[in-house]
Amino acid sequence: MAASIQRGRLPWWGWIGLVVGAAIMAAPLVWTLLLSLKNNAELVGNSGAALSGPYTLENYVAILGNDRTLRWLLNSVIVSLGTTVGVLVLCSLAGYGFARLDFPFRRTLFTLVLLGLAIPSQAVILPQHQLFATLGLHNSYPGLILPGLITSFGVFFMTTYMRAIPKELDEAAMLDGASRFTIFWKVILPLTVPAQSTLAVFTFLGSWNDYWWPLISATRSDMYTLTVGLASSQMNYAQTSGLGFLMAQAVFASIPIFVVYVIFQKQIVRAMAGTAVR
Amino acid sequence: MAGLELHGVRKAFKGVQVLDGVDLTVAPREFIAFLGPSGSGKSTLLRIIAGLETADDGEVILEGRRIDTLPPGDRGVAMVFQHYALYPHMSVRENMAFGLKNARVPKPEIDGLIEDAARVLEINELLDRKPGQLSGGQRQRVAIGRAIVKKPKLFLLDEPLSNLDAALRLRTRVELAQLRQRVDAGVIMVTHDQAEAMTLADRIVVFNDRRIQQVAPPMEIYSRPANTFVARFVGSPAMTIIPGKLQNGSGHAAVRLGDGALIETAISRDGLPPGERIEIGLRPESVRVTRDGDVATTTAKVVLVERLGERSLVYAQLKDGTEITAEDSGLSTARSGDEIGLKIDGAAAHLFGADGTGYHRQDA
Ligand SMILES: Nc1ncnc2c1ncn2[C@@H]1O[C@H](COP(=O)(O)OP(=O)(O)OP(=O)(O)O)[C@@H](O)[C@H]1O
Ligand SMILES: [Mg+2]
């Protein structure tokens, strides 16, 4: 244990461990990618054919040619972005409130938020379904977005982060003649950017990958998100014949996530490593 | 017109009284130091003046205008925080501009004010850096700069030097003194450091036990402490205060100590409270260890010798067990356990009544 914690160069067996680990992680992804690049007919009966050429982009052409897939992609983008923006706005405001304002029942409310952490979303899915049915919100963007805005974790996360920002900063800003909104907007909010990006990434990914609620709420295929849409096309008994196409869909669906990771890599690492506010 | 006036300021936190009827009048452009033990309410009073804390009772008036009803930004005061409280995400320039922008000062004017302040504080090079890229001393200057550009009527500094190392603290102290000549405003500085208060302040306000104990120029605080608290608190090492009996007679008061020694003070008998019980206060420099040929006032047993280089401090016990601090030359030969003679300069002694009130010689 002590040896592996030492700083500096990794020993040879450390390298081997890393390479093996990376290979195990990457293998299914590479396999998926290879399958997606094969003609469907070639894969019937022998998926091992993916290991050798010829490779083709025809599956991707088919996806882009299918306007339903594009529609699902659009739905996923709208729902995920909507959820992310909504969560950031609500959690920032709630976090500021819990961290800085003094109002009646603040502690009680915060305790309720913490209790919310312990309630799995599955536990409330039936009443939630009924509520949305009553409100006529199924098969709509608000219907898909609203449940995602409820996040105990986000509120808790932003509250703790804002609490850690020294109060002296608020006070300095007050003496600088800043209104409460200016303090929130120009002083506190900019300092929470690392937390915001972490929360944004997690929320976006969670929303993008969510399957259950859109499956329940979106019953019309034009309101499917990508996850539900892709799953529905697996049900068409074409799995044996359409393996390459299916894999191309999976790759296609993960591109936005990949992009998000690449863009926010720095913030994610920084937020994970913990940033001191000073 | 007075600069700052405080009338009957009171403040309690959760039922615990922290300030109880504070009255203070500060002249315009005066440099005031708040001195007092930890928890005596210095910061609280500063924050009440700034508007970061609301007094339970009393008035705060700045240049004739009542300000305790105004929000902090409208009071015409600027504050330098102990931990500087610079906005970490803004450059030095933006930090200094923030208050001015909020006050809707036109951009060219803001630039001018920042340039001026930066020149005075020698932080021109740093204007585009973030606080995280500055040393402690540089942050300190920026914090002062941020206060200066607002051209306040009153600067409030809460232990501004306490985060600096000893050398930097001395340098900054000198700079604060120079700066203070340049700005047309009063300054109130909270400090734990007597030397800082003594060097910088026109007047020192000594706090203890929810109240102001004394307000006076530094040397007066030292030579005419209002009560036993101030006497013990100011000066290092602390003044020795020992009980004694006031002798009958007229003219100057004479006091007999517990061990029988008689001390002739230069304090007039007239103003003293009735009764013979009194306390006498002696600074170490007025209690000398005798050398050959000196006439000893009394004798004592050495407990500890603290060698400070150019002088030594001798902590000793009189025959009746009373502790006393004396001074000796740097070459003192005294060792703990030794019997030594003490020569007490009665003319430099202070007297304290039963309620703690101090009495001093007329001309001191
Ligand atoms: N917000 C608060 N809530 C409760 N008690 C407080 C609060 N602020 C200060 N106090 C109490 O008020 C008293 C005075 O505090 P204050 O900070 O004014 O002391 P100080 O003289 O500045 O001390 P120091 O020299 O340690 O800075 C202390 O007993 C402190 O615990
Ligand atoms: Mg304090």
Q: Are residues A73 and A46 in the same domain?
A: no
Q: Are residues A98 and A46 in the same domain?
A: no
For residue B225, the CA-to-ligand 1 centroid distance in Å is 25
Q: With 80 as the cut, is the pLDDT of residue A240 above it?
A: no
Residue B150 in contact with partner chain A when CB distance is under 8 A: yes
Identify which ligand lies nearest to the alpha carbon of B52.
1
For residue B55, the CA-to-ligand 1 centroid distance in Å is 14
Q: Using one digit for the tens of pLDDT, what is the confidence trace for B5-20?
A: 999 999 999 999 999 9
pLDDT for the residue numbered B99: 95
Interface test with B, best of A100, A175, A192 (most B CBs within 10 A): A175
* Homologous superfamily, domain B4-230: P-loop containing nucleotide triphosphate hydrolases (3.40.50.300)
For residue B190, the CA-to-ligand 2 centroid distance in Å is 7
pLDDT for the residue numbered A59: 82
Residue B88 in contact with partner chain A when CB distance is under 8 A: yes
Average confidence (pLDDT) over B37-42: 92
Share of chain A above pLDDT 90, in %: 44
Q: Are residues A113 and A54 in the same domain?
A: no
Residue whose CA lies nearest to ligand 1 atom number 18? B41
Q: Which helix (H) or strand (E) holds B318?
A: strand B311-318
Lowest mean per-residue pLDDT among A235-249, B111-125, B259-273: A235-249
In terms of CA atoms, which chain B residue is nearest residue A191? B89
Residue B65 in contact with partner chain A when CB distance is under 8 A: no
Q: Using one digit for the tens of pLDDT, what is the confidence trace for A18-55?
A: 999 999 999 999 988 888 888 877 777 777 777 777 88
Q: Are residues A22 and A145 in the same domain?
A: no
Q: Are residues A50 and A71 in the same domain?
A: no
* Burial tier of B355 (Cβ tally within 10 Å: 0-12, 13-18, 19+): exposed
What are the structural domain ranges in chain B?
4-230, 240-359
Residue whose CA lies nearest to ligand 1 atom number 6? B13
Among A239, A252, A241, A249, residue whose Cα is nearest residue A40: A241
Which of B9, B44, B212 has most ligand 1 atoms within 8 Å of CB, for mutation? B44
Does A3 map to a domain?
no
- Say if the Cβ atoms of B150 and A190 lie within 8 Å: no
Q: With 80 as the cut, is the pLDDT of residue A268 above it?
A: no
Lowest mean per-residue pLDDT among A119-123, B275-279, B353-357: A119-123
Q: With 70 as the cut, is the pLDDT of residue B227 above it?
A: yes
Lowest mean per-residue pLDDT among A29-43, B210-224, B294-308, B344-358: A29-43
Q: Is B38 in the pocket of ligand 1 (CB under 6 A)?
A: yes
Q: Are residues A174 and A207 in the same domain?
A: yes
For residue B240, the CA-to-ligand 1 centroid distance in Å is 29
Atom of ligand 1 nearest to the CA of B34: 21
Shortest distance, CA B143 to any CA of chain A (angstroms): 10
Average confidence (pLDDT) over A166-191: 95
Which of B11, B14, B19, B40 has most ligand 1 atoms within 8 Å of CB, for mutation? B40
Nearest to B72 among A168, A175, A277 (CB): A175
Q: Is B42 in the pocket of ligand 1 (CB under 6 A)?
A: yes
Q: Which helix (H) or strand (E) holds B271?
A: none
Atom of ligand 1 nearest to the CA of B40: 21
Per the rule left: phi > 0, alpha: psi between -120 and 50, beta: everything else, A141 is alpha
Q: Are residues A127 and A233 in the same domain?
A: yes
- The DSSP annotation for B77-123 comes to EEEE-TT----TTS-HHHHHHHHHHHTT--HHHHHHHHHHHHHHHT-
The CATH number covering residue A142 comes to 1.10.3720.10
Tell me which DSSP letter residue B264 carries: E
- Say if the Cβ atoms of B87 and A187 lie within 8 Å: yes
Share of chain B above pLDDT 70, in %: 99
Q: With 50 as the cut, is the pLDDT of residue A278 above it?
A: no
pLDDT for the residue numbered A163: 95
d(CA B241, CA B225): 12
Per the listing, tokens 């920026």 go with B142
pLDDT for the residue numbered A173: 96
pLDDT for the residue numbered A122: 84
Residue whose CA lies nearest to ligand 1 atom number 3? B13
Q: Are residues A38 and A73 in the same domain?
A: no
Arithmetic mean of pLDDT over chain A: 85
Strand-pairing partners, residue B358, are B352
Per the listing, tokens 């396999």 go with A31
Q: With 50 as the cut, is the pLDDT of residue A190 above it?
A: yes
A197/B316: higher pLDDT: B316
Interface test with A, best of B53, B75, B96, B98 (most A CBs within 10 A): B98
Arithmetic mean of pLDDT over chain B: 92
- Say if the Cβ atoms of A175 and B79 lie within 8 Å: yes
Contact present, B329 and B308 (Cβ < 8 Å): no
Q: With 50 as the cut, is the pLDDT of residue A151 above it?
A: yes
> A217-231, B91-105, B162-176, B328-342: which has the highest mean pLDDT?
B91-105
Give the confidence band of A8 by pLDDT, cuts at 50, 70, 90: low
B90/A6: higher pLDDT: B90
d(CA A188, CA A166): 10
Q: Pairing relation of β-strands B287-289 and B277-282?
A: unpaired
- Overall domain count for chain A: 2
Lowest mean per-residue pLDDT among A10-24, A93-107, A256-270, B129-143: A256-270
For residue B156, the CA-to-ligand 1 centroid distance in Å is 16
In terms of CA atoms, which chain B residue is nearest residue A176? B99
Contact present, B343 and B294 (Cβ < 8 Å): yes
Q: Are residues A191 and A119 in the same domain?
A: yes
Average confidence (pLDDT) over B218-225: 94
For residue B152, the CA-to-ligand 2 centroid distance in Å is 22
Among B130, B329, B356, B95, residue whose Cα is nearest residue B239: B356
Shortest distance, CA A170 to any CA of chain B (angstroms): 9
The whole domain housing A37 covers 12-59
- Say if the Cβ atoms of B87 and A169 lie within 8 Å: yes
Q: Nearest-5° angle of CA B27, CA B29, CA B31? A: 85
CATH match for B240-359 among 3.40.50.720, 2.40.50.140, 2.60.40.10, 1.10.10.10: 2.40.50.140
Does A225 map to a domain?
yes
Share of chain B above pLDDT 90, in %: 74
- Say if the Cβ atoms of B87 and A172 lie within 8 Å: yes
Does A2 map to a domain?
no
Does A137 map to a domain?
yes
Does A6 map to a domain?
no
Q: Are residues A39 and A139 in the same domain?
A: no
A184/A201: higher pLDDT: A184
Q: Are residues A87 and A189 in the same domain?
A: yes
Q: Using one digit for the tens of pLDDT, what is the confidence trace for B87-133?
A: 999 999 999 999 999 999 999 999 999 999 999 888 999 999 999 99
In terms of CA atoms, which chain A residue is nearest residue B50? A175
